[in-house]
A and B are shown apart, each in its own frame.
Chain A
Amino acid sequence: MAQLQERPASPGTPLGHRLKGLLYSQRLAPYFFIAPFVITLLAFWAVPLVRTFVMSTQSVMFGEAAFVGTDNFERLWHDRIFWQAMYNSARYMVLTLVILIPVPLLLAVVINARLGSDRLKNLFKASMFIPALTSVVVAGIIFRLMFAETSTGLVNQVIAWFGADPVRWLRTDLGGLVALLALATWRYTGVNILYFLSGLQSIPDELYEAASIDGAGKLRQFFSITLPNIKPTMVYVTTISIYGGLAMFLESFMLYAGNSSPNNQGLTVVGYLYRRGIEENDLGYASAVGVVLLVVIMAINLTYLTLTGTFKKESR
């Protein structure tokens, strides 16, 4: 680091001096450092957010905005399709939580066991991670074609081995849900394994050793040592899964090759926002959808993060 011995603070002109003072000021520097974030926050998050709230009380048609009070929200309340989208998103979120927390955790525990070949484990991790590198666009195309409704589609071929008749996957509510969950499981299991693995590896071995001296069995060790110690990882994975599940859109968009699906069975809240706002140009109503989604996600996540004490830890 030879660059360090440069510039012994030499006095310059008064103006230059003051400028230099600025550059050396430890009191002012942090504000320069965080300025890009503050600007981004205001320009690209705060302004749009405020605008969403304002637009949600307007009827915006053909560029003309008129205040309509809570009309949009009243319409939403009686809008069956909105509730269906809400139900679809919530159902997807809950089911992804049910699958994508225990399964990756189990796999991570298996990989983290001291026994077994490291080589094999690394290969396994690599193959589990590859789906995460695949864009939703490509993954959606592949899954759409694997879940083809003809008897020759891959998934129908597989279930035929077990004697089942071909299913018209994307035409039925349940079939579409299975395809969506298969896609989500495929894409995110590996990522969650990595999260859990990094959590597991930060647990000191001594804890297990002590427990095993005290005569605790494997199962007991898992519940008394492993689970409490990976709480931060669990909190993180759960938070992003809640968010990701409720805001899911692209998976369904790609699987159904667009934003419409039979009987709206694949419609999500963001899909509805997209339909109203972009496809139908009803920005006021779409904003109301966005506001409701934001409130729901923030309410769940803030409650969850407060209950788990995450904020307290971070603001220190």
Chain B
Amino acid sequence: MSAPTATTTPAPSAEHGTGVPGGRRKYPLPRAMFVTIQSIFLVVIGLIVLVPLVVIFVGTFQDGGEIMRSGLRLDVDISSFRFDNYVMIFTDSGLYFRWFANSVGLTLVQVAGTLLVSSFVAYGFAMYDFKGKTAAFISVLLLMTVPFEIMMLPLYVMVNDLGLADSYSVIVIPFLAASVTIFFFRQYFMGIPKELLEAGRVDGVTEFGIFFRVVLPISRPALAAMAILNGMVTWNNFLWPLLVLRSAEKFTLPIGLNTLLTPYGNNYDLLIIGSFFSLLPVLVLFLCFQRFFVAGMTAGALKG
């Protein structure tokens, strides 16, 4: 995905692009004009999209009470910038970094677990024929379109009945065999030549050994893509943890931030700078691993 558009053949330097000989595509506008309009279009839209992030960054230098009264904006007098918020988040932010650490830990555990379990399941679907396979696979597809919000209530009742509320296990375990991730791995595994498995079998490796020692190691691109996708989802997960978690020390970052969003606004300083800081790790990871992010997001849309 690194070099998406096919530009290896340099376009002939014809000024008017109405049908370059050789059957290339026709362009309704002269090339130069098309490129200019396209560039302006992309730059303008790209900048507009970044406005909310710039706005919250600027907001980190403002007084929270003031933001609550007058909203976020861009025309802030730079001379009025203050760094109190930065001092506060590192000195007096209560449980903020605890929530941060909880989110990091939970995300790591969830991602590792989901990758392992979901790829394991997907391998079964991709490599074997067995009785009931069609029915089982159709349930994978159906689960992809059943909103979790509908199971949320009874699951919540179950969790309470079993005395499992306020624990991370009920956040992690139900989503280890994730239908979207299973679907993706299945598609990926189906592209692996069966001869490789046969070679393993001839060498006397067990069926599970083939999966763990042959297939998983060569599936790094798929694992990376799914790690990114699941990582994003878990890092930003809100509704289910909101229901399950009770004690403030166990909150994840989004849940913690939500508790700061009060109608009285006394925590707006922390809310703004805390929101901004919660974006940073994801943004940094994104800038480092951009192409994997893109692969991960489009993974679900594989040609059906």
Q: Is the CB of A52 within 8 A of B153?
A: yes
Contact across chains for A143 and B52 when beta carbons are under 8 A apart: yes
> A311–B206 contact, CB under 8 A?
no
A246 to B208, CA, bound (A): 41
A208 to chain B, nearest CB (A): 6
User: When the two chains form their complex, are residues A141 and B157 in contact, meaning their CB atoms are under 8 A apart?
Assistant: no
Considering residues B27, B117, B130, B201, which has the most beta carbons from chain A within 10 angstroms of its beta carbon?
B130
Which A residues are CB-close (under 8 A) to B27? Answer: 115, 218
Contact A44 B71, beta carbon cutoff 8 Å:
no
Q: A127-B50, A129-B293 are in contact. Are A52 and B282 (CB under 8 A)?
A: no
Residue of chain A at shortest CB distance from B1: A198
Task: Map CB proximity to A onto B117-155 as digits: 1 under 8 Å, 0 otherwise.
Answer: 100110111011110011011111101011101111111
**Taking CB as reference atom, which chain A residue is nearest B4?**
A201
**A116 & B39 in contact (Cβ 8 Å cutoff):** yes
Docked complex: A286-316 residues within 8 A CB-CB of B = 286-287, 290-291, 293-294, 297-298, 301, 305, 310-311, 313-315
Q: Name the residue on B nearest A249 (C-beta).
A: B149
How many pairs, one residue from A and one from B, have CB atoms within 8 Å of each other in the complex? 357
Confirm or deny: A82 has a beta carbon within 8 angstroms of a beta carbon on chain B. Answer: no
Q: How far is the CB of B19 from chain A (nearest CB, A)?
A: 7
Nearest to B206 among chain A residues (CB) is: A23
Q: Is A49 an interface residue (CB 8 A)?
A: yes
Contact of B121 among A37, A49, A191 (CB under 8 A): A37
B202 to chain A, nearest CB (A): 9
Residue of A30, A130, A190 near B124 (CB, 8 A) is: A30
Complexed CA–CA distance, A120 and B138 (Å): 41
Which of A70-78, A90-98, A151-159 contacts its partner?
A151-159
**A224 touches B (CB below 8 Å):** no
Residues of B within 8 Å of A85, CB to CB, are: none
Q: Which of B45, B68, B121 contacts A33 (CB 8 A)?
A: B121
In contact, A142 and B304 (Cβ under 8 angstroms): no
Complex-state Cα separation, A256 to B245, whole angstroms: 22
